[in-house]
Amino acid sequence: MDIKFVICINNKGYEVSLERGKVYRVLNDEKASQHNLTRVIDESGEDYLYPNEYFVPIKLPKAAQEALVA
């Protein structure tokens, strides 16, 4: 299972939905990627699209990944 995570570096305009410095799980969305958007599970617990530049991809140890998706 290839689970991807990002850290939020900008939340301008999305202050309620995203927290700067927080790790978010990325859901694969090829169509969104073509439009420079990233689909993440945000603070609402739902998945939404945000600009790619609001995030930096990160690699987490397997134990951390498992804890975040549990």
Domains and CATH numbers, the chain: 4-69 (2.30.30)
CB atoms within 10 A of CB 17: 15
pLDDT at 1: 53
Confidence of residue 70 (pLDDT cuts 50, 70, 90): confident
Who has greater pLDDT, 57 or 62?
57
Residues forming a β-bridge with 8 = 55
Q: Percentage of the chain surpassing pLDDT 70?
A: 97
